[in-house]
């Protein structure tokens, strides 16, 4: 694999049309719009009653094949990264089946019969794991072929919960091959981290028991989560994955982070990447040279924090699972560096070292909400399109990406922008996939969220897959109870 240049040649997306403006949501829920806008974003999308993670994934894959004029017979790997699957037996093969049916109806060949169809699950990191597996496939027994990895998810939270404004739904499909046209993915110099965190963010199957699907095809998928604890897990995992990468590349962390122009991180909501990168930068200063520690000391002094104590805290490896109990979940594992980061946020270097590096494509992401596995590739797509629109010269530039999955695992992977990125980006159509939207009111939101029938909402599916019906037979001679049947609406 070291001798092969393998990476991404194309991206295509699908998001459902139903849009909730967060300013409206704040009015409905008596929430503070200024805070929600700053911390979360502007709007999010919701899946429709006849949509599932499989319909969205299949629509994104079909768009990818069409937009990049892919020969389906060359596709030998189709991976699905998701944490919203509703079938514990099949996954990517469902997506392949839908796409094959649509391709044949269009007079095109189906995806190769010899195509592998794995599904990857590790919370929001499933898509990144799928991408890594596809690259390894292309480097060895799949050499000369093409691979598609589709990241698709439905982020939904109970009404009244702290996660409610961070909902979202959508899918992003990636084309991977040798000599990529968009970006080379450097797995050799990537960094990894994983650790079991008990109750960070979970989806036990008991939540599905007894759900009534008579009013809607939807299966509600509200997670079990603990917000402050999840933030702690995200920060610690980010630090550990970065440290693994620093060691592999033998780089000085502070110098390396300063050298980067663009960074893309898992984005459950607007503020989280800033928080993760800010703590990572302060940790790099803690282990840097004299000038780095002097910069850190200036923030510590203003925060009233002992510099040496802050350094010990941020370079330690706390056992996060030790606070995974009801009486300890709100304990702050990084109290000193958290206080220092608040001071750092007001410093001029925060703009240049944090916000500027996270800015490419971030404007578009304000209107996507949380896409779980699709959040990182969506941000990459938005970044490439902004660079093309602004005629930026990013050829050969390193993009640092960080994928994260609650539970807890993280992957830090360098991307290098390919020579043909402009042509590949021109075919992407990412912003175009967001243009059509149906804005919903409070009553429609409640009905759509709670799995009821929606009143006065006129939307006819177009060029996308939908759930045609859900099986209900449970007889000895024939069973299809709960199985979804799909059709493509052209």
Q: Is 49 left (phi over 0), alpha (psi -120 to 50) or beta?
A: alpha
**Mean predicted lDDT score pLDDT of the chain:** 93
- Are 291 and 251 contacting, i.e. CB atoms less than 8 angstroms apart? no
pLDDT digits (tens, 9 = 90+) for 386-395: 999 999 999 9
Show the tokens assigned to 312.
């010990």
Is the four-CA dihedral 249, 333, 365, 447 of positive or negative sign? positive
- The pLDDT tens digits for 338-392 are 999 999 999 999 999 999 999 999 999 999 999 999 999 999 999 999 999 999 9
Take residue 338 and report the two structure tokens written for it. 């958290």
Report how far residue 474's alpha carbon sits from residue 264's, in angstroms, rounded to the nearest whole number: 47
In the predicted structure, residue 474 carries a pLDDT above the cut 70: yes
Angle of CA points 239, 244, 245, to nearest 5°: 100
Residue 423, pLDDT above cutoff 50? yes
- pLDDT category at 404 given cuts 50, 70, 90 is very high
CB 222 within 8 A of CB 192: no
CA distance 425 to 432: 12
Domain ranges (residues) in the chain: 6-192+364-397+418-489
Q: Which of 59-73, 200-214, 267-281 has the lowest average pLDDT?
A: 200-214
* Tokens read off for 377: 């590739």
Q: How many alpha carbons lie under 13 Å from residue 102 in its C-beta half-sphere?
A: 25
Rounded to two decimals, the pTM is 0.94
pLDDT at position 329 over 90? no
CA distance 355 to 363: 12
Q: Which two tokens stand for residue 186?
A: 């450097």
Pairing of strands 75-81, 146-155: parallel
Gap between the Cα atoms of 58 and 64, Å rounded = 10
From CA 65, how far away is CA 429, in angstroms rounded? 13
The residues, any chain, with a CB within 8 Å of residue 162's CB and separated by 6 or more, are: 227
Rounded to whole angstroms, the Cα distance separating 216 from 452 reads: 6
Residue 207 confidence (pLDDT) above 90: no
pLDDT digits (tens, 9 = 90+) for 11-37: 999 999 999 999 999 999 999 999 999
pLDDT at 5 exceeding the cut of 90: yes
Label residue 213 by pLDDT band (50, 70, 90).
low
Tokens representing residue 200 in the block: 């960070």
Count of other CB atoms within 10 angstroms of residue 225: 17
Neighbours of 100 (CB within 10 A): 18
The secondary structure of residue 124, as a DSSP letter, is B
pLDDT-based confidence at 104, cuts 50/70/90? very high
CA distance 303 to 341: 9
Could you give the count of Cα atoms lying within 13 Å of 418 in the half-sphere of its Cβ? 23
Res 1: pLDDT = 43
% of residues, the chain, pLDDT over 90? 82
- Judged against a pLDDT cut of 80, whether residue 236 lies above it is answered with yes
CATH topology of domain 6-192+364-397+418-489: Peroxisomal Thiolase; Chain A, domain 1 (3.40.47)
User: How many CB atoms lie under 10 A from the CB of residue 258?
Assistant: 15
For 58, what's the count of Cα atoms within 13 Å in the CB-facing half-sphere? 28
Hey, what's the torsion of the CAs at 32, 433, 431, 35, to 10 degrees? 10
| Separation CA 9–CA 490 (nearest Å) | 26
């Amino acid at each position: 694999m070291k001798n092969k240049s393998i990476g991404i040649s194309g991206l295509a997306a699908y998001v459902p049309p139903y849009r909730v403006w967060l300013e409206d949501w704040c009015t409905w829920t008596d929430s503070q719009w200024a805070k929600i806008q700053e911390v979360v974003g502007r709007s999010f999308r919701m899946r429709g009653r006849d949509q599932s993670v499989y319909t969205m994934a299949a629509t994104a894959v079909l768009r990818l094949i069409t937009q990049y004029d892919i020969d389906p017979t060359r596709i030998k790997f189709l991976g699905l990264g998701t944490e919203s699957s509703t079938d514990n037996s099949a996954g990517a093969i469902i997506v392949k089946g839908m796409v094959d049916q649509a391709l044949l109806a269009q007079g095109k060949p189906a995806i190769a019969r010899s195509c592998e169809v794995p599904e990857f699950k590790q919370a929001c990191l499933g898509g990144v794991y799928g991408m890594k597996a596809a690259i390894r496939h292309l480097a060895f027994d799949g050499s000369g072929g093409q691979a598609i990895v589709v990241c698709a998810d439905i982020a939904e939270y109970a009404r009244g919960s702290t996660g409610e404004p961070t909902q979202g739904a959508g899918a992003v499909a990636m084309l991977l091959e040798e000599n990529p046209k968009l970006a080379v993915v450097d797995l050799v110099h990537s960094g990894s981290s994983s650790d079991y965190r008990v109750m960070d963010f979970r989806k036990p199957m008991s939540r599905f028991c007894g759900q009534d699907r008579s009013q809607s095809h939807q299966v509600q998928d509200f997670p079990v989560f603990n917000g402050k604890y999840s933030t702690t897990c995200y920060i610690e995992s980010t630090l550990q994955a970065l440290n693994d990468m620093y060691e592999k590349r033998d780089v000085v962390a502070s110098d390396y982070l300063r050298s980067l122009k663009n960074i893309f991180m898992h984005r459950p909501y607007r503020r989280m990447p800033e928080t993760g990168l800010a703590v990572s930068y302060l940790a790099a200063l803690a282990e840097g040279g004299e000038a780095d520690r002097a910069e850190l000391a200036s923030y510590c002094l203003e925060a009233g924090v002992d510099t040496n104590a802050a350094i010990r805290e941020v370079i330690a490896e706390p056992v996060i699972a030790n606070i995974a109990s009801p009486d300890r979940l709100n304990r702050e594992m990084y109290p000193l560096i958290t206080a220092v980061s608040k001071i750092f946020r007001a410093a001029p270097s925060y703009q240049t070292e944090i916000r500027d590096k996270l800015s490419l494509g971030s404007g578009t992401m304000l209107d996507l909400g949380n896409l779980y596995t699709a959040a990182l590739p969506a941000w990459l797509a938005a970044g490439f399109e902004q660079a093309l629109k602004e005629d930026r010269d990013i050829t050969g530039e390193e993009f640092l990406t960080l994928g994260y999955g609650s539970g807890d695992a993280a992957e830090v992977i360098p991307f290098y922008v390919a020579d043909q990125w402009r042509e590949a980006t021109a075919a992407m159509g990412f912003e175009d996939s967001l243009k059509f939207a149906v804005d919903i009111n409070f009553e429609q939101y409640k009905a759509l969220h709670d799995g009821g029938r929606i009143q006065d909402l006129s939307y006819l599916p177009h060029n996308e897959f939908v759930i045609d019906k859900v099986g209900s037979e449970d007889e000895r001679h024939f069973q299809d109870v709960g199985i979804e049947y799909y059709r493509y609406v052209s």
